[in-house]
Structure 1
């Protein structure tokens, strides 16, 4: 039976997740939209939406999703009124309401499987698993030095080099520590460098994980680039051919001090994923202390978010898990309609 499990693409920012989104979206059965901004935000506000057994509450939730510009619902080019009614008439859970939006996006392209892409989902995999307990996660990993170099050049990035390095370290730590605790068959990782060098092999492996047949169209993501909003000028390279030209470009884009800091902090993580070190000098003590301060501050922020979420779970009026796919319905204990054999005509 064809799979209907939702698919979530994640990775450190500037690791190539938009390219992978387009590759996956090129598959004839899968639709992955540009980054949305309602998934985790809705989960964090779930207590405000109240008891979703009440259709009026589901309508409030739907209005919040489709009417809030920060959600980027408008970029999905869906009929807001139709999606709202689907949510109101749908299963009374938060995951179902959010999944209905993604399912409607897939239906726009005539595809049965849906999902989402956002680098920040690395910090919220447990949340996504609560919302979609049968989810499959695809983690794209890229040389941390290239990610740091690219992040620093983005018009929307206002963080420091220390923060950029910390973000990549957190992505790798997720792969090494958190991913092994995910349910079997729910996590797959691949390297950007391998994907750009031999896309057919890597995408064939990805399709095997997803339970899908590989389609050659996936190797031409530029044909799908129209789904990326034009104002995101930093994704302009997705409109061209898949290339390895940017792999290793950190050598010309980072200063000696930045390279030293990256390699001093990330050495074991880089080598674990097959990235060679330059052999340059170590970073100075003051740089290392500044990085540790940044990393500690980020860890504290994550701890506070986790603690607040644990308290919120005690007050949830409804289980959040979606009830849209075969796996979700089975996990929720929802009986499926039995297919009775046809009655013979006398």
Structure 2
């Protein structure tokens, strides 16, 4: 098969977890090529193939869809899936490169499927604290599923469900690297070194320049205070923009007001209903910038391992 001359690397993880960053860093290596010029959103391979159903639901609900989780059985039902995927993706790779990268967030729940089709493939999964990820992705959610804070716990539940599926699948994956977004922000050189060694590539000295270590700070403060400390100033700012043609001041104003009203309550709700499951994945609701190391033997780390 033509792909046997290459090393295929699949990058997965929920939206706004750092998958695009990691895929671009891998693709920047002289040894590797990512999909480029596809015309699809973020050059994600899921959107330009017909071997499996991609784009199931929006970014805040897709993993709940029954067809989002694919395994060996799904691959065996479509024996020509490898040829179809190669035909769809290979025109957008530089086939002179040894390592070929495909990134789509739903790869998180499709690793067993790809491993069956492409034996020897490598999988890189990026995880980010569920609360931070939910706050980052909610602008794409529906009005009743957290866009304006109302229904926010459902966004966190989506994270938990997707990672429950992933953790169980991970025990069957031969070549898997899990990167914690939090560890990448704290030690980009060390984490990118692990990535380069796992994938089998060289990275330039400037690879760490793409890492913005402070991107989660506002989310952590928002979760801690509900935005109440800065609400008055932000309301004045949004009101001053109401006549502007630029931006969405009404939506921003509504979100800031509902954050102050609802996030403190939802913090309690999320803790009561999802806290134990979140801790099982190595995260803690009281520490948004910490994560336990991934345990490849169990897939269920505890935060105590990181302390």
For this structure pair, what is the TM-score category when the shorter chain's length is used for normalisation? 0.5 to 0.7
| Equivalent position of 1:11 in the other structure | 13
Match of 1:249 among 189, 208, 219: 219
Shift of 1:250: 4.0
TM-score w.r.t. structure 1 length? 0.53
Shift of 1:193: 1.2
Structure 1 residues 176 and 97, CA gap change in structure 2 (3 angstroms): closer
Match of 1:30 among 29, 32, 48: 32
- Do structure 1's residue 97 and structure 2's residue 84 form an aligned pair? yes
Shift of 1:269: 4.3
Shift of 1:111: 2.5
| Equivalent position of 1:266 in the other structure | 274
| Equivalent position of 1:116 in the other structure | 102
Shift of 1:15: 1.0
Shift of 1:194: 1.2
Structure 1 residues 106 and 218, CA gap change in structure 2 (3 angstroms): farther
Q: Is the 8 A contact 1:138 1:188 kept in 2?
A: yes
User: Which deviates more, 169-178 or 25-34?
Assistant: 169-178
Structure 1 residues 247 and 10, CA gap change in structure 2 (3 angstroms): farther
Partners of 1:97 and 1:216 lie apart in 2 by 37
Shift of 1:201: 0.7
Structure 1 residues 134 and 188, CA gap change in structure 2 (3 angstroms): same
| Equivalent position of 1:190 in the other structure | 179
Shift of 1:258: 2.4
Partners of 1:246 and 1:44 lie apart in 2 by 32
| Equivalent position of 1:42 in the other structure | 51
Equivalences, count: 210
- Do structure 1's residue 151 and structure 2's residue 142 form an aligned pair? no
Q: Is the 8 A contact 2:128 2:180 kept in 1?
A: yes
Q: Secondary structure at the match of 1:21?
A: helix
Q: Is the 8 A contact 2:48 2:88 kept in 1?
A: no
Q: Is the 8 A contact 1:102 1:114 kept in 2?
A: no
| Equivalent position of 2:171 in the other structure | 180
Structure 1 residues 276 and 27, CA gap change in structure 2 (3 angstroms): same
| Equivalent position of 1:302 in the other structure | none
Q: Is the 8 A contact 1:103 1:114 kept in 2?
A: no
Shift of 1:159: 3.8
TM-score w.r.t. structure 2 length? 0.59
| Equivalent position of 1:171 in the other structure | 162
| Equivalent position of 1:286 in the other structure | none
Q: Is the 8 A contact 1:106 1:112 kept in 2?
A: no
Q: Tell me: higher relative CO, structure 1 or 2? Use CA pairs within 8 A at least 6 residues apart.
A: 1
| Equivalent position of 1:200 in the other structure | 189
| Equivalent position of 2:304 in the other structure | none
**Structure 1 unaligned residues grouped into runs of 5+:** 46-91, 222-240, 280-346
User: Which of 1 and 2 has greater Rg?
Assistant: 1
| Equivalent position of 2:201 in the other structure | 212
Shift of 1:252: 0.7
Structure 1 residues 263 and 248, CA gap change in structure 2 (3 angstroms): farther
Q: Secondary structure at the match of 1:189?
A: strand
Q: Secondary structure at the match of 1:153?
A: helix
Q: Secondary structure at the match of 1:115?
A: strand
Structure 1 residues 24 and 141, CA gap change in structure 2 (3 angstroms): same
Q: Secondary structure at the match of 1:152?
A: helix
**Structure 2 unaligned residues grouped into runs of 5+:** 36-42, 55-78, 147-151, 224-258, 288-307
